[in-house]
Structure 1
Amino acid sequence: MGKTKNRVHLPVIVHNPYLGGLKEDILYHLSLGTGTHNLPALFGDVKFVCVGGSARRMKEFIEHIAAELGIQDPKSNYPNICAGTDRYAMYKVGPVLSVSHGIGIPSISIMLHELIKLLHHARCTDVTIIRIGTSGGIGLEPGTVVVTKQSVDAKLVPKFEQLILGELVVRDTDLDYGLAEELLRSSKELGQFNTVMGNTMCTLDFYEGQGRLDGAFCLYTEEDKHKYLTKAREAGVCNIEMESAAFAAMCKLSGLRAAVVCTTLVDRLKGDQLNISHDVLHSYQQRPQILVGYYIKKQIKAREAIPK
C-alpha cells in the first residue's frame, strides 16, 4: 500500500497585530464575541462558507444544503445565529456556514472583517468561501450562471481601490482559478442550466455606476451605455454586481480559497429593468444554490473517503 500524504491544514490569516492585545474581541455586527461565545466549539468544524446578499436566500441555502447532506432536523427551524442584530443573518449546518452580507462593498466589507476574525478565533482550517448571488448579464440569456474568473472594477481593471487613512490602497482581486474550474465542471455534471466562466465587473452603484437608463439621474445617452457595455463584453466581462472586488481582495489577504457564483437576471444589452415573474426570478436565484450545494456535497464525500 502507498503512503497517504499528510494534509497541510491552512489557517485563516488575519493581518492585525493589535488583535492579540484585546481582552475581548467583540464582533459587533454579528452579535458574537470571544468573551461571550466559545467560537472554537461553535464554529471550529466549518470548512465551507457561503455568503450572499439576502438573509432570506441564505436561510433557503442552509435548508437546501441540509437536505443535500442528509442532516435535516425536522425539529430545527435553523435559527439565526446573529439574531441579536438586524444587520446580518447567519446559519450553520454541519461544516457549512451561510451568511448574508447585504448590498454593496461597504456592507460586505464589514461582514467579512468580522467573519474572517470569527474563523480565525475559531481556529478553522482549509476553509473554502463562495459568494452566491444575482447579477446583470452582458450578452447572456437571463438565468445563465456565471462563475467568476476575475473581478474587475468599472474601469475594467482587476483591482480593488480603498482609501485608508486618506491614502489610496490598491489590492489584487484574484480568485481561486482551480476552484472556479471545479465549479464549472460540477455544473456540467448537473446539466440543469447553462453555466459559463468569465470576468465579473464590480461597481459602486446599481444605477449610474452600471450605466442604467432607468435611475433618478441619467446624464448620458443610450448609445453611451451600449458602447460601454460592449467594451466590457469585449474585455471578457460576463456580468455586473456590487461585491466581488472587495470579496476577492479580502479573501486573498486571509488565505481563503474563494469563488463567486452569480446567476444573471437580465441581459443589460437588451434592457435594464427586471420584468420577469416572481416564480421565474426565484428559480433563477436558486441556481447558484443548487450548483454550490452539489459541489459542497461532492467535496465532503471526497474528504470522508480520504484515510485519516
Structure 2
Amino acid sequence: MSLGFGDEKNDLTCERSVCVKNPHLDSMKEDILYHLNLGTATDDIPAKFGDVKFVCVGGSPWRMKAFIEYIAKELGLADSSEAYPNLCEGTDRYAMYKIGPVLSISHGMGIPSISIMLHELIKLLYHARCTDVTVIRIGTSGGIGLQPGTVVVTKQSVDAMFLPRLEQIILGRSVVRSTELDGELAEELLQCSKELGEFETVIGNTMCTLDFYEGQARLDGAFCSYTEEEKQNYLAEAYAAGVRNIEMESSVFAAMCTLSNLRAAVVCVTLLDRQKGDQLTSSHDVLHNYQQQPQILVGHYIKKRLSAVKKS
C-alpha cells in the first residue's frame, strides 16, 4: 500500500510558523532532542533560538563552523574574542553554531543521518516558536555535463529513477513524499549569483542516491557489475532528465522541509564532471575554493534579505 504525498498537505493553521505533524508531542512532559544534546526541560529553547530566521545545513562540522565565522563577518557581527561555541557540545553526532538570526548545523552523510538531524531541528524550531524560517543545504556534489566549480541550485530532487519523490517504509507501508523545492527561492539565489559574478550557477535537478559508489554509477568501488558504456548511458539519461548533479541528502531534505512549512533550497558546488571521471584529481586548494562558493552565495542572499528587512 502506498500513501501519496498529497495526503500530507500542510494545515492552513501553520501559516508562517514551523509545522510538526505528530499529535503525540503535545502529551509529552519533555521533548529530548537527543542527538542535539538539547531538551525542552533543560534548555530555554525560545530564548536561545526564537530569533532564528535562516538555517544553513551541511555535511561537515568544520564546514559549518567555517560558515558561521564567514556569515558573522558578512553581517558585521564578528567578534575576535568570540569562539562560536558548539551548541551541541556533549554529543559527537552533530555540531551547531549560531550568530544573530543564523543557525549553522552539520548533518553528516546520507539520508539517514540528515533525516535524524532534521527531525530534531524541526522540533527545535517549533519549540522555539520561530516564524518565516528559510533552510538552505550547502555542500558538494558530482556534476553531470558541467564544469567543475559550477554551483547547482536544485529545482527538484529526484531519485535514481529520475522521479521527484522520496519513498520511505513506515509500519511496513510505502510512503511517498514530494521532493519539490521553493522555485522562487531558487530564482532569488540565481539572481544573487549573477550579482556576485564570481562563479557559474545553474538551476537543475539533483539526483539523490542511497550510496556513494554503485548508486552513483561509479567504476571505482569495491564492487561494480556494469561497464563503462553502461555507466555513460545512465549518466546521459540522467542529464536528459534534467539532472545536473548527484548527492545523497536532498530528497529527504526537500520532503521534510515541505512538510514542516519551511522555505528551503539546496545549493551544492560540483567538484568534478562525472561523465569524465569518478575520482577527484583537483588540488586541495582548488577543491577548497570550490567548497567556499555555496557559502559565499548563501551569505550574499542572507545579507541581502536582512538588509531588505531593515529598509522596510
What TM-score bracket applies, with the shorter chain setting the length?
Answer: over 0.9
Counterpart in 2 of 1:73?
Answer: 79
Q: Deviations over 1:117-153 (max 9, x none)?
A: 0000000000000000000000101000000011000
Percent of residue pairs identical: 73
Secondary structure in 1 aligned to 2:117?
Answer: helix
Counterpart in 2 of 1:299?
Answer: 305
Residue 166 of structure 2 is aligned to residue 171 of structure 1 = no
Deviation of the 1:170 alpha carbon:
0.1
C-alpha distance in 2 between matches for 1:297 and 1:153: 33
C-alpha distance in 2 between matches for 1:232 and 1:9: 36
Matches within 5 A, 1:132-211: 132-211=138-217
Matches within 5 A, 1:85-104: 85-104=91-110
Aligned residues: 299
Secondary structure in 1 aligned to 2:272?
Answer: strand
C-alpha distance in 2 between matches for 1:127 and 1:173: 18
Counterpart in 1 of 2:61?
Answer: 55
Q: Deviations over 1:43-101 (max 9, x none)?
A: 00000000000000000000000000000011111010001100000000000000000
Deviation of the 1:9 alpha carbon:
6.7
C-alpha distance in 2 between matches for 1:109 and 1:9: 24
Secondary structure in 2 aligned to 1:271?
Answer: coil
C-alpha distance in 1 between matches for 2:25 and 2:180: 26
Residue pair 1:152, 1:202 contacting (<8 A) in 2 also:
yes
Counterpart in 2 of 1:19?
Answer: 25
C-alpha distance in 1 between matches for 2:90 and 2:39: 12
Residue 286 of structure 2 is aligned to residue 286 of structure 1 = no
Residue 247 of structure 2 is aligned to residue 254 of structure 1 = no
Deviation of the 1:105 alpha carbon:
0.1
Counterpart in 2 of 1:3?
Answer: none
Q: In 2 relative to 1, CA 74–251 (structure 1 residues): closer, same or farther, beyond 3 Å?
A: same
C-alpha distance in 1 between matches for 2:310 and 2:123: 27
Q: TM-score scaled by structure 2? A: 0.95
How well do the aligned residues superpose, as a CA RMSD in angstroms?
0.8
Residue pair 1:9, 1:126 contacting (<8 A) in 2 also:
no
C-alpha distance in 2 between matches for 1:271 and 1:71: 42
Q: TM-score scaled by structure 1? A: 0.96
Secondary structure in 2 aligned to 1:274?
Answer: coil
Paired letter, 2:107: H
Gaps in structure 1 of 5+ consecutive residues: 1-7
Of the three residues 187, 210, 215, the one matched with 2:221 is 215
